[in-house]
Amino acid sequence: MTTHPGARALRATPEGLLWEPTERWVRGRKGDVTVVDSRRPVLVWEPELPVPQYAFPREDVRTDLLRPAEKPRTGLHTGSRIFYDLHVDDDVRPNAAWVFPADDLAGHIAFEWFLRPERGLDHWYEEDEEIFVHPRDPHSRVDALPSSRHVIVEIDGTVVAETRAPVVLFETALPPRYYLPPEDVRLDLFEPTDHSSRCPYKGIARYWSLRGGQDVPPNLLWSYPDPLPAVSVIKDRLAFYNEVVDLVVDGERLERPVTPFSSALSS
């Protein structure tokens, strides 16, 4: 049987890393300087991280901008011992890059990205689309589907939204999120905040808090005014954290889920 040249399989290293090649064109920039430009990166999953990272062949990296780290951050990245500081003009990003301690990946360099933007590059692109926070996981899906479900949102017994025209967003490892038409949300009960977040699958979100809502977490309502093309159907729609509001869907009151966001929302 002939294997299709695009077929991939996850590979494991003795150190506990999982990795696979990808055919995506990936670039990383610090300011106006392109530091990485690769058409053959690999995706790497570390045991302690829920999302993948990219590692790039050395020849696709501006290694002339890297210097051995003055204070290597040993103990991170599955025991990596080789770290680099990034020097671009007069700006130095300590420990911006490293080499994974695996023979399979010895010829590759990875860059800080997930949760540590101050140590990494400023902008990342997959093909010509800018990507935020972390690379997209090819084994995860995000599907935004128009629906006619009857959705009621309550906070402390008060109905704050009701619709029969939601868009239901299904994202791997998270509960469904119900994106509601603005006219079906009582926005008079909420006030906009300065908070924002970035998602590699959806884009940049803005937030609202409940007015006088001392007993509920802030920033519990959000919207994507300019979502990425794959989920354009959620543009300007509003969604609540299922973790802190009460949802009644088609007459059934849903249990509040426990997710990676739960601890942050309760603190």
State residue 6's pLDDT score: 45
146-161 exposure pattern, b = at least 16 Cβ within 10 A, e = fewer = ebeeebbbbbeeeebb
For residue 79, which of 49, 100, 97, 52 has the smallest C-alpha distance?
100
User: Could you state, in order of their start, the residue ranges of all structural domains in the chain?
Assistant: 11-131, 142-266
Does this model's pTM top 0.75? My answer is: yes
Q: What is the bridge-based pairing of β-strands 246-249 and 33-38?
A: unpaired
pLDDT class of 173 with cuts at 50, 70, 90: confident
> Which is higher by pLDDT, 176 or 213?
176
What mean pLDDT do residues 102-127 have? Answer: 85
State residue 51's pLDDT score: 87
Domains 11-131 and 142-266 share a fold: yes
For residue 33, which of 8, 61, 5 has the smallest C-alpha distance?
61
Element (H, E) at 196: strand 190-199
Instruction: Check pLDDT > 90 for residue 166.
Output: yes
CA geometry: angle 212, 213, 214, nearest 5 deg? 100
Q: Which of 1-5, 8-12, 257-261 has the lowest mean pLDDT?
A: 1-5
Q: Mapping DSSP to helix (H, G, I), strand (E, B) and coil, where does residue 215 land?
A: coil
User: 123 burial class (0-12, 13-18, 19+ CB within 10 angstroms)?
Assistant: middle
- Residue 226 sits at φ, ψ, to 5 deg, of -140, 70
Q: Residues 142-266: name the CATH superfamily.
A: Domain of unknown function (DUF427) (2.170.150.40)
Is the CATH number of domain 11-131 2.170.150.40?
A: yes
Q: Per-residue pLDDT tens for 136-147? A: 999 889 999 999
- With beta carbons less than 8 A apart as the criterion, state whether 41 and 27 touch: no
Could you give the percent of the chain with pLDDT greater than 90?
Answer: 76
CA geometry: angle 127, 132, 136, nearest 5 deg? 65
In angstroms, the CA 169 to CA 211 distance is 26
Cα-Cα end-to-end distance for the chain: 55
Give the C-alpha distances (Å, rounded to integers) separating 165 from 21, 65, 154, 155, 239: 40, 52, 17, 20, 13
